[in-house]
Every structure is written in structure tokens, then in C-alpha cells.
Amino acid sequence: MNTDRFEDENPRTSNVTSQSTHVTDEDRDTTCSSECQSNHSKDPFHLSDNEEDSSDIYRPVIKKRCIAVLANDLNLNVSEIAVKKTPRVAYVHSQDLLTKANELIRIEGRAELVHSLIRTYGLLQYLQVVTPRPATQSEILAFHSSDYIQCLQDISAVSDSEDIEEQHKHEVESYGLSYDCPLQKDLLETASLISGASQAASQHIINGLADIVINWYGGWHHAKRDTASGFCYINDVVLCILKLRQQFDKVLYVDIDLHHGDGVEEAFATTSKVMTVSFHKLAPGFFPGSGELNDVGTGRGKYFTVNIPLMDGIKDKEYFSIFTKVMKQVKDRFLPDAIVMQCGADTLSEDPMTSFNLTHFGIAKCVCYMLTWNLPTVLLGGGGYHFPNTAKCWTFLTALAAGKKLPVDIPEHEKISTM
């Protein structure tokens, strides 16, 4: 597969229904006029060339690489972040947010590991700590349907999961609240607080109080307008972007999670004001099974969606090479005003997903590259199911954003070593 070719030779219309127009801006339209069709008859970003990638980019997983990398492997220095001035960095956190996020069934205990390691390294002294509030119902309804949110509200009021399934069986099935999105008490309250955290990150940027805002509790990129999906109930990423759009004309969304950022892509597939770029695994039977190279958006949003499907076994060097090649062209053609980056850590070599062979250093290089753009940036969490390694990775990224050096091989924290 030639990952350099993003030109849509066989356009395939995105599965965005008319309901998705709930996410609006002055540029949104699900049908192109004749003038619009003419303007988009060719890829406006010219994201194509005739080079052929080496087959060595994709290698079978022969031996998993430990998350710790040797000192002589390191060629990234904090000074390489070409910022015009020392960035002001904020960190979204509260004890209530930590408690709620830490109880999420699929990632139970992860939030505490992440925050504990960041605190233990003394990084909080270099960060503005932003205390979030829950997203209001009107804020959530900027993207999600009222029927779906009402269902979450009804479910949250029932304490026993068996009672929920008995009383709301039809809703549970129709709204995707099943195996990969398990029911639990206070579900809407928890999801609203996490979404409020991502909106707080955007608002802090809008208020001009920080250049980079971190919310490792966020990044739930699979939730759709009226369905839960892939452990995600409310799409805090979409709400974060919509908030930024109140101040910034063009917002770039970059997703380096192992899984395709399908919910975010679908939300903005028909607008030219938000460009979504997703680097992910695409394989038969692998969730969510979307994000092909020729999925490029639709209507006025055609060619404002970029998908880079990658194969198992890819390592830091090859991943970063592809990442920078794509993002250089995106920057030149889209000229964004702000960035939202989802930093899922399920691409790490020891993650239970056992797919990509990245280290936290490889992920850091991609984040570092985006920070060199010197644009207002929100960094979000996402996947990451080897909790100690995810904590190490996001602690490393936090230090990187704050301009502080950490050992490449982050030692075990008290809580991590007991797992």
C-alpha cells in the first residue's frame, strides 16, 4: 500500500446522515453546489505524489520492544521544540474527575496511575491546574441527540445493572450500550465531567491563559451522535473542537490512537473548517473497521478528512517518517489556527492490543513535532490498556510539553510496581 497517495481515485461517500448536520458552522453543507463540486473536483491539498514507500516500513512483530529505550537510542531533546517562547502549559484535573474516571469499567484504575506518576515527578509545579465542571446538557446537545442523552440520564438513575437491562432493554440495544460500552451507575455524570474537562481545556485556550492544555482523562473519540461505541459514551473530542471553533476559524484534529477516530471524523466529515487526520490500524475484524485511505470526507468537507491505515509491527522510526510526511502537507494546505491531538497509548509495544511496536519515545516525537507548529494545542488521552506503560507515556508527554526532561527509562512508581 502506498501511504503517500491520498488522492481520492474512487471517492466513497462517508456514512454521515442528515442528522449529523447538528454539528454546524457557516461552511457546512451536505450537498455541493455546482461551484463547490468544481472546486473539489481535485484534491485541494494535493496530498499525493508518485513515490513508493519501502516495504520495510511494515515488519511482522517478531520481538516486542520494551517501553524503556536505551539512552543511545535517544535523539530527541526538549530544545528541539522550536517554540517562540516558553509555552504556558495547563493540566485539567480535580479529585472528583480523578475519582469518576478511575471507576470507568474498561479502564478502572488507570486514571490514578497516570496522575500519581505525574505528581510524583513534581511536574504539577510547572503546570497551571485547571479545575473542570461537568458539561451542561445544552453543551452536550451541541453534538449528541436529545433521545440518546435522555437514555443515559434514565440509566444513570438506576443503581443495579440488572435492573437497567430489565427496565431499559430496548434503549440499551438501540443506543449501543452493550458489551464494549458496559452500563454502570452514574454513567452520565461521569461522562459529563470528562466532557466538561475537555471543554475546560478549550476554554482555557480561548481565554488566552495557556498555549498547551492537557486532559489525559479525555480522548473518547468513538461515540457517535446517538450511540455509544468503543468504550465511549459522550464524544468529548467533538465537544472540545466545537468549543474551539467559537474562537478559531480552522481546527486541526490529529489522532494517533491505535483505533480509527471514527466518531470525530463522522461529526466533521462535511465541513471544511475542521480537518481530521487519523493514523490507525485497519485490519479485518479489528474495531471499528473504518478509516480507509480513500475515506476523504464528503460535500464541502471532501478532502478535509485524511486516513492513514497502518499495519502491525510498525516501529518508531517508520511511524514518525510517515507522520511527518503527512503532517507537513496538511499544515501547508490547511493552515490551521488551533490543534486538538488525541494521544492514545494503545500503540505501545506491550499494550494488550499487541499491534504496533511503538515506544513512549516514538509517540513523544510525534507530539513534539506538532508542538513545533506553535499553535494553541489541546492534548487528550485515549486508548492505552497496559496501564503502567500508559502512565509512563503520558507522564513523558507532560514533561515534554512543559519543557522538562525526564529519564528515558522512567522508573517504576510505587503504585505501578505493585501491579
- Across 148-153, average pLDDT: 92
Q: How do residues 164-173 score in pLDDT, each as one tens digit?
A: 666 666 677 7
Residue 379 pLDDT > 50: yes
Q: Is the pLDDT of residue 40 over 60?
A: no
DSSP string covering 148-168, please?
Answer: HHHHHHHHHT---HHHHHHHS
Is the per-residue pLDDT at 67 higher than 80? no
DSSP helix/strand/coil, 146: helix
Could you give the CA distance from residue 308 to residue 44 in angstroms, rounded to a whole number? 18
Whether 366 maps to a domain, the answer reads: yes
For range 212-237, the mean pLDDT: 97
In this predicted structure, the answer to whether residue 381 has a pLDDT above a threshold of 80 is yes
User: Poorest-confidence range of 26-35, 304-313, 356-365?
Assistant: 26-35
pLDDT band at 85 (very low <50, low <70, confident <90, very high): low
pLDDT at 165: 60
Q: Which residues contact 50 (CB under 8 A, 6 or more apart)?
A: none
- What confidence tens digit (pLDDT) does each residue in 353-373 have? 989 999 999 999 999 999 999
Q: Is residue 357 part of a domain?
A: yes
- Across the range 293-306, mean pLDDT stands at 97
Query: Mean pLDDT across the chain, nearest whole number?
Result: 83
Q: What is the SS3 assignment for 380?
A: strand
pLDDT value at 382 more than 70: yes
For residue 419, is pLDDT > 90?
no
For residue 388, name the pLDDT band (cuts at 50, 70, 90). Answer: very high
Q: Is residue 276 part of a domain?
A: yes
In the chain, how many domains are there?
1
Residue 231, C-alpha cell as written in the block:
468504550
Q: How would residue 70 be classed by pLDDT, with cut points 50, 70 and 90?
A: very low
- State residue 172's pLDDT score: 78
Residue 383 has pLDDT above 90, yes or no: yes
CATH code (residue 110): 3.40.800.20
Establish if 9 belongs to a structural domain: no
Q: Does residue 8 sit within a domain?
A: no
Whether 193 contacts 100, CB under 8 Å: yes
Residues 6 or more apart from 122 whose CB is under 8 A from it? none
Per DSSP, the residues of 290-355 read ---TT----GGGTTSEEEEEE-TT-BHHHHHHHHHHHHHHHHHHH--SEEEEE---TTBTTSTT--
Cβ within 8 Å of residue 216, ≥6 positions away = 111, 114, 115, 379, 380, 381, 394, 398
Domain that holds residue 89: 54-417
Residue (of 116, 124, 152, 122) closest to 137 by Cα position: 152
The reply to whether 43 falls in a domain is no
Q: Residue 57's pLDDT band (boundaries 50, 70, 90)? A: very low
Q: What confidence score (pLDDT) does residue 86 get? A: 78
Cell numbers at 77, concatenated:
531533546
Q: What is the DSSP string of 46-108?
A: ----S----GGGS----SPPPSS--GGG----GGGS--SSPPPEEEE--HHHHHHHHT-GGGT
Task: Indicate the pairing of strand 377-380 with strand 128-130.
Answer: unpaired
pLDDT of residue 163: 60
> Which of 78-92, 188-202, 302-316 has the lowest average pLDDT?
78-92
Give the confidence band of 207 by pLDDT, cuts at 50, 70, 90.
very high
Confidence class for position 413, pLDDT limits 50, 70, 90: low
- The C-alpha atoms of residue 67 and residue 70 are separated, in whole angstroms, by 10
The pLDDT of residue 158: 67
Active-site pick, 222, 260, 280, 413: 222
Rounded Cα–Cα distance for residues 229 and 416 (Å): 29
In degrees, to the nearest 5, what angle opens at C-alpha 283 toward C-alphas 1 and 68? 90
More confident residue, 76 or 221: 221
**222 noted as active-site residue:** yes
Calpha distance 289→279 (Å, rounded):
13
Residue 1 lies in a domain: no
Q: How far is CA 98 from the centre of its chain?
A: 19
Q: Is residue 335's pLDDT more than 60?
A: yes
